[in-house]
Structure 1
Amino acid sequence: MTIFLLFGSFILFLCLSVPIAIAIGLASTVTILAVQPVSMEAFTQTMMQSLNSFPLMAVPLFTFAGDIMGKGGISRRLLNVSSVFFGRLTGGLGVISIVTCLFFAAISGTGSATVAAIGLIMIPAMVARNYNKTFAASLVATAGTVGVLIPPSIPMIIYAVAAGVSVTGMFSAGVGPGVLVGLALIIYVLYYARKNDYKGDERKYSLKEALGIFINAIPALLIPVIILGGIYGGVFTPTEAAAIACFYGIIVSVFLYKEVKIKDLPYIAFRACLLCAPVIIIIGISSGFGLILTITEVPTVIADFILGISANKIVILLLINILLLIVGTFMETNAAIIILTPILLPIVTALGVNPIHFGLIMILNLAIGFITPPLGANLFMAAQISNTKFELLMKAIIPWIIVMIIVLLLVTYIPAISLFLPKLLNIPV
């Protein structure tokens, strides 16, 4: 009764276009008033306690750092460096887009920001070199999914808080899947470019030009080194790294590259707060939602149901992947993580799956949702900045989704892809 009332009312509110945070709160309130699984006081206290979290402070800080660096000309300098190394390849502009997304992801921590920063420059450049516009836009949209896989990643922080695992462990585990996605996309780009005769850039860089481009980009290239090196080296925590990223971003963008003015900083900070506010509200309300789930033993019921279908680890992980792929098409990533982690984590840990490994499985599934209609946040962003009809991108994105699903299966069934680096760095997982 409680399960149907809780999830039934939640789905009903979503169908009525109620914002997801409000829908979760209303569904919880309806359930409390109807069957009283917990008191309203306990629900409210759980909401407030969940926000009293040191790791959560990293969310607005990384958002601010990514925004200021994106506006500070860093993406353009990263593209210039990539052009020196990959520009002359067949399909070189596509490869440049993907490689730059990998680097920029280590700065922005989000998918849509990566698509906007790189797509505004690279999509027109690819079209000018006779690339099909829908191919170029779908390429950048897909490459932008790396934003939540390469650390620092806001969804990784959210999962770490929800699952009670190490943020540092999640960050280090994300490198392997993130690089694997990048390599898979590059392989497909090279195949497609050779098939359609997309020539590389004919420009040859002299040693002096290449050296000048590289030196100019050193402050940008040092950002992931400082942030991730400090975290993995134990110099500072991920939350402290977020604060350092903000400070470094201001130094580089305002005083070194001089593409952001001091008077712009209050607005960028205000915008970061606006972007993070819905996430923080979802986290708080979803924690109360999770309390109801725990008290009523909903995760146990769902776990018993899934385990009743099959006791085979391969089959269950496949079913969970299908569920997450479906959820990712219509639910916001952070909300999905907060709601589903308490339900699915006990199931996979009972099968011997490492919680950090499962976190990467979940985030990669939901990242595919960034390019899957009807939500497809990266698709919408790519369509907007390329002035392409969304319907055309829906068709062009299909091969990219297939590539991503192949990578997903590899990450799911080969735990070493995620856990190799944490073990190498002696980070507890």
Structure 2
Amino acid sequence: MSGSLVIILFLFLLATGLPIAVSMGIPSALYLMMANIPPSQLIQRMVTSLNSFPMLAVPLFILAAGMMNSSGITERLFEFAKLLVGRMKGGLAQVNIVASLIFSGISGAALADVGGLGNIEIEAMDKQNYPRTHSAAITAASAVIGPIFPPSIPLIIYGAAAETSSMRLLIAGVLPALVIAMALMIQVAIFARKFNYPRGVDRKFSFSEIKAITKRGLPSMLMPVIMMGGMLSGWFSPTEVAAIAVAYAIVLSLAYKELTFASFINNCIETLRSTASVLFIVASAAIFAWVLTVEQMPQQVSALMLSISDNPIILLMLANVILLIAGMFLESTAAIMILTPILLPPLVAAGVDPVHFGLVMVFNLMIGMITPPVGMSVYMLSPIVGLPVGKVFRACLPYLASLLCALVILTYVPQISLWLPNLVFASR
């Protein structure tokens, strides 16, 4: 059974609607059976892929995000973001982006952003008569920032797949996230004039209001500050930061008196479900990638790409096209585990830094969260806004312009991704 046949069978099973982990697992198991490799090899490879200290951060960040959602912290973050940019024209759309940037410093996942802030943001925009399609589109587009700004679950998974420092990757995400947020804010400012969006707040905040909102929001704002400070100082590893995030979320929830034992148990159960889903995909993708490696598929793809050109600009362009298409059909975790060992070698051979490519890869795949046919953010938002999925997809299309512009900038100006980690690690 050749590597090409394994890929064809995977694509066929995926097209039938089987879960992606099963679609990867069945061809891999058939390959091992036909190659007379004992089943224990399958189990060993899958278990080994999960036996990773950095991967322990995944369930911890999922739990931290769940705790923040259920404790009223997201509402405080939204009010604080309104204080910062609410008086701009189209203020609530701008607040949407800023709130997503702040929340991404807690959750590390796009869907957590949509789930945590989506209802609050859309309800507030409804009160100012924003079209629901516009509200849904900016909410989905701004959620793309989540997995770029640290902490980032996809970057941690990429670090494990690429055998690259998760710490460097997380620190590298700071400036790219700001670039993406700025690109979206510029587009919203243009739309605000075109569609005459109202100001989010039509008056100046009084000093007492500023003081009250800051007092309410500051403890929540300190979480990303503590996490970033711990990583930049070298005091904490990404996994330790995740544990601190959980502890801090519990302390805040108790301080706000909004944490009940029942909600805590529900968060733990949801974390277990989400973690099981993610890790099942990681384990299946690990054995699938191993089969492709045995069949020398990465070497063949590498040789093919390098035969086209050894110019990093051209190779990055080709990788972007592949990743954008993959993001339209594959779940991001599976895409990272499958494509990293295939695309990374020729790019590294051409002189591309693996940390830089990690940011480019994750951003590409996050754009897939708002593109058909498998844009998970859109499917999650559709019932929240009460609109058909197709309408939400169409509303998201204009925001691809700013996201793709940001992608081009991040792809061809690698120092945006590399300057901060190089600065931090050079000083140690």
TM-score (norm 2): 0.96
Matched to 1:9, the amino acid is L
1:248 aligns with 2:248: yes
Question: Is it true that 1:129 corresponds to 2:128 in the alignment?
Answer: yes
User: CA–CA distance in 2 between the matches of 1:162 and 1:129?
Assistant: 45
C-alpha deviation, 1:39, in angstroms: 4.5
Change over 3 Å in CA distance of 1:321–1:428 after alignment to 2: farther
Shift of 1:251: 0.8
Partner of 2:207: 207
Are 2:16 and 1:16 aligned?
Answer: yes
The CA deviation at 1:132 is 2.1
Matching residue's letter, 2:181: G
By how many angstroms is 1:277 displaced?
A: 0.4
Q: CA deviation at 1:412?
A: 0.7
Q: 2:333 maps to what in 1?
A: 334
The residue that corresponds to 2:225 in the other structure is: 225
Percent identity over the alignment is: 39
Amino acid at match of 1:265: F
Give per-residue Cα distances to partners, 1:313-342, cap 9 Å, x unaligned: 222211111110011011100010001111
List alignment gaps of at least 5 residues for structure 2: none
Q: Which whole-Å CA distance do the structure 2 matches of 1:10 and 1:227 have between them? A: 39
**Range with bigger deviation, 183-192 or 387-396:** 387-396
| Native 8 Å contact 1:43 1:291 kept in 2 | no
Aligned partner of residue 373 in structure 1, secondary structure: coil
Aligned to 2:390: 391
* Superposed CA offset, 1:37-75 (max 9, x none): x55333322221121111111100110001111111111
Match of 2:142 in 1: 143
Q: Distance in 2 between matches of 1:426 and 1:167?
A: 13
* 1:205 counterpart SS class: coil
Within 5 Å, which residues of 2 pair with 1:228-307? 228-253=228-253, 255-307=254-306
Corresponding position: 1:181 with 2:180: yes
User: Which string of whole-angstrom CA distances, capped at 9 and with x for unpartnered residues, describes residues 139-190 of structure 1?
Assistant: 0100011111111111011001000111110101111111111000000001
Q: Name which of structure 1's ranges 96-105 and 9-18 shifts more when overlaid on structure 2.
A: 9-18
Native 8 Å contact 1:422 1:428 kept in 2: no
Q: Deviations over 1:270-318 (max 9, x none)?
A: 1101011011112122222222222221100111112222333222211
CA distance in 1 between counterparts of 2:271 and 2:287 reads 25
Kept in 2: contact 1:2–1:35 (CA 8 A): no
Q: CA deviation at 1:30?
A: 1.5
Matched, 1:31 2:63: no
Partner residue of 1:92? Answer: 91
C-alpha separation between the residues in 1 aligned to 2:22 and 2:394? 33
* Shift in alpha-carbon separation, 1:412–1:130, aligned structure 2, 3 A: same
Provide the rounded CA distance (Å) in 1 between the counterparts of 2:338 and 2:30: 17
Amino acid in the other structure paired with 2:222: L
In the alignment, structure 1 residue 74 sits paired with structure 2 residue 73: yes
Q: Report the number of matched residues.
A: 427
Q: Secondary structure at the match of 1:329?
A: helix
Contact 2:29–2:42, Cα closer than 8 Å, also in 1 = no
Letter in 2 for 1:229: G
Q: Quick check: 290-299 or 58-67, which moved more?
A: 290-299
| In structure 2, C-alpha distance between the alignment counterparts of 1:390 and 1:286, rounded to whole Å | 28
Compute the displacement of 1:5 (Å).
1.6
8 Å Cα contact 1:124-1:386 kept in structure 2 = no
C-alpha separation between the residues in 2 aligned to 1:231 and 1:393? 37
Does the Cα contact within 8 Å between 2:329 and 2:373 map onto a contact in 1?
Answer: yes
Distance 1:39 1:417 in 2: 47
Give the counterpart letter for 2:236 in structure 1: F
Contact 1:91 1:190 in 2 (8 A): yes
Return the offset for 1:33: 2.3
* Partner amino acid, structure 2, of 1:34: M
1:95-174, aligned counterparts within 5 Å?
A: 95-174=94-173
Query: Structure 1: which amino acid aligns with 2:134?
Result: F
Distance 1:428 1:5, change over 3 A: farther
Residues 241-268 of structure 1 deviation map (CA, whole Å, 9 limit, x = unaligned): 1111111101101x11122213321221
Q: Which runs of 5+ in 1 are unaligned?
A: none
1:93 deviation in Å?
A: 0.8
RMSD: 1.6
Q: Hey, what's the Cα distance between the residues in 2 that align with 1:67 and 1:308?
A: 47
Q: Separation in 2 of the partners of 1:83 and 1:44? A: 50
Residue matched to 1:2? 2
Work out whether 1:193 is the aligned partner of 2:189: no
Structure 1 match to 2:43:
44
2-structure distance, mates of 1:427, 1:257: 40
Against the structure 1 CA distance between its residues 62 and 428, is the aligned structure 2 distance closer, same or farther, given a 3 Å change threshold? farther
Q: Which runs of 4+ in 1 moved over 4 A?
A: none
**Partner-residue secondary structure (3-state), 1:409:** helix
